[in-house]
Structure 1
Amino acid sequence: MTRIGTSDLNVFPLSLGGNVFGWTADRDASFAVLDAFVAGGGDFLDTADSYSSWVPGNSGGESETIIGEWLASRRPSDVVVATKVSQHPDFRGLSGANVRKAAEASLARLGVDAIDLYYAHFDDESVPLEETVAAFGQLVTDGLVGHVAVSNYTAERIREWVGIADRLGVARPVAVQPHYNLVHRNVVEETIIPVAQEFGLVLVPYYSLASGFLTGKYRSTDAAGQESPRAQGAAKYATDAGLRIIDALEEIGQNHGASIAATSLAWLRAQPTVAAPIASARTVEQVPDLLAGARLELTADEVEQLNRVSEWTPAQA
């Protein structure tokens, strides 16, 4: 188990991503994945109010609804649910009033009394940051949210948020959710990790497996021809440099009887301030690798080998 920053949340060191629920995994498939994850020891779920509004026929909130129905059906004990605000088509932005309405809508879809971890999904510079910070703080004071977090924020804005929270006497963020993995390191390591260390925050990285590239599924520079929803995101990493990372992951994984995906997640967990990488599964068969990645401990030499082979990979947006 690992603690989420200065909070009272102790979680399994991998978060199951809910972005696929209502998208590439329908309700039944999502239930099966959630069942397998919890049966394997998982207890940390990540979603957002906007998932999966980009799917034709969807309007946003589908992932939260599926998770809420699963929670009501299974009534698991001690499952920690994180969700996010700012991108739902009906609740865009981070004005104080919007944050409140969006949180109430998420609570209704999830069917819970309080959101354990509530993220500002993307920074909204059209709203004074003090207004947003105060709104999040009020949600904590009112018991609708357990803890505050931020996603896709720059180090400067995180520092500013913490300063405002302290001045207002409201809850500080306890976690940061950045895009971070073996093929996307530079910005996080140079700017986000130092500010997390400064304020006792932890990282809960998304795109931990680089849209599937770090599973080893794409083993040639010819991956651009793939047509699945996630393949297009992974194809850009299938360069000579990216494939050298896959080869190193495979070699190290073989030493542990572990997959490329599990080894990649283990590297991420070994990085400073990282608490629980986020990874999604659209089928039950994909869950064991995620669970293994939360338990695999690499040696210092293995971590350093992966650091070296990925050091000069350009960061991709």
Structure 2
Amino acid sequence: MTGQKAPQMIYRHLGRTGLKVSALSYGAWVTFGNQIGVPEAKALMQQCWEGGINFFDNAEVYADGKAEEVMGQAIKELGWKRSDYVLSTKIFWGGKGVNDKGLSRKHIIEGMKASLKRLDVEYVDLVFCHRPDVTTPIEETVRAMNFVIDQGWAFYWGTSEWTAQQLTEAWSVSKRLNLVGPAFEQPEYSLLAREKVEKDYLPLYKEVGLGLTTWSPLASGLLTGKYSKGHVPEGSRLAMEMYKGLREKKLIESNLEKVDALRPIAEELGCSLAQLALAWCVRNEHVSTVITGATKREQIEDNLGALAVVEKLTPEVLEKIEKAVNSKPEPLPSYRS
């Protein structure tokens, strides 16, 4: 099955900001610096570009900084106009030194400078607090992120895998100090991971206009259908020794059964399993962009084809999907009589 061909890209505002990002984006996690170098990255990013993708995601920790170097060099060789693309990095794990990790003012500023040097750019559009740092006061982190913005090193700041409570506290501090709050969050979101996006963050979409740049829409490749019990394709993400824990977590019988239950739905729509999973994420109105990863040109082509599937997700089809995966979070309790 060839799947859908890519329609015109959809662009959405990132939360309540004025910035527009492509509904599908491309990230460097796992692949850049580990599986692919500059020549391959350059070819894949150009294909994304031609498909309308304008947002490229990275982090200081990816391949110990090499992912940023690879992406930065690829962009330089491609010669893209800086205002035409959106670039991000994330700060938290910067090295082995006692102050090389976390969200202290020291590491945020030093980590930011180091990322910009590796990416070989004057600024990134977005900077994320890659994880919450419970050992650093949120006020210190909020002030440091605002300093980064004031210096012109980034235009917007956000978080990744923070709880709703932590985000609420960050916004409370930001408002009290008349500073810029976190405009977006980067949570895991797929048919197999829905709690934060569909339940925990629900009040924040309206209250602060929280935008989402979601990751792992294919559950580390599980939702492509290429994995089965006892079979992990050579060269795939879950075949890598460094992701042994992820493999043990994802490749469980209940997840594989859900993937099998989705197959007839994808066949009925005339699309691949991956396109169905991606389209399902894109259709969520709270998701600004869905971050994808790919090491091959055909994977990018297939990913882009997911945009044509979005309009096919009618209430009837969505109901079939819900029955297949049975993963919808329990609704928030209501105390109204």
2:335 aligned partner: none
Amino acid at match of 1:281: A
Cα distance in 2 for partners of 1:225, 1:266 equals 24
Gaps of 5+ in 1: 53-59
- The question of whether the paired residues in 1 share the 8 Å contact of 2:24 and 2:290 is answered with yes
Deviation at 1:112, TM superposition (A): 1.9
Higher relative contact order (CA 8 A, sep 6+): 2
1:39 aligned partner: 50
Q: Deviations over 1:161-201 (max 9, x none)?
A: 11111112121212111112111223442212433343211
Q: Deviations over 1:132-156 (max 9, x none)?
A: 0000011112211111110010110
1:251 aligned partner: 264
Cα distance in 1 for partners of 2:13, 2:163 equals 23
Amino acid at match of 2:86: V
The change in CA–CA distance for 1:2 and 1:262 in structure 2 (over 3 A counts) is same
1:57 aligned partner: none
Q: How does 1:1-317 map to 2 (within 5 A)?
A: 1-19=11-29, 20-52=31-63, 60-77=64-81, 78-89=84-95, 91-218=100-227, 220-223=228-231, 228-231=236-239, 232=244, 233-234=246-247, 236-297=249-310, 298-312=313-327
Gaps of 5+ in 2: 1-10, 330-337
1:56 aligned partner: none
Deviation at 1:8, TM superposition (A): 2.0
The change in CA–CA distance for 1:228 and 1:42 in structure 2 (over 3 A counts) is closer
Cα distance in 2 for partners of 1:214, 1:130 equals 39
Secondary structure of 1:211 counterpart: coil
Cα distance in 1 for partners of 2:56, 2:36 equals 15
Q: Deviations over 1:34-73 (max 9, x none)?
A: 1111122111111101111xxxxxxx21111111111111
- The question of whether the paired residues in 2 share the 8 Å contact of 1:15 and 1:279 is answered with yes
Cα distance in 1 for partners of 2:62, 2:299 equals 20
- The question of whether the paired residues in 1 share the 8 Å contact of 2:188 and 2:215 is answered with yes
Deviation at 1:221, TM superposition (A): 3.0
Deviation at 1:24, TM superposition (A): 1.5
Amino acid at match of 1:24: Q
Instruction: Report the number of matched residues.
Output: 307
Structure 1 vs Structure 2 CA RMSD: 2.3
The change in CA–CA distance for 1:251 and 1:62 in structure 2 (over 3 A counts) is same
Relative to structure 2, which stretch is displaced further, 274-283 or 145-154? 274-283
Amino acid at match of 2:281: L
Secondary structure of 2:221 counterpart: helix
Amino acid at match of 1:110: L
**What is the TM-score normalised by the length of structure 2?**
0.84
Cα distance in 1 for partners of 2:137, 2:151 equals 22
Secondary structure of 2:201 counterpart: helix
Cα distance in 2 for partners of 1:136, 1:25 equals 31
The change in CA–CA distance for 1:198 and 1:300 in structure 2 (over 3 A counts) is farther
- The question of whether the paired residues in 1 share the 8 Å contact of 2:42 and 2:78 is answered with no
Deviation at 1:260, TM superposition (A): 0.7
Amino acid at match of 2:50: A
* Matched-pair identity in %: 31
Cα distance in 2 for partners of 1:159, 1:169 equals 15
The change in CA–CA distance for 1:40 and 1:121 in structure 2 (over 3 A counts) is same
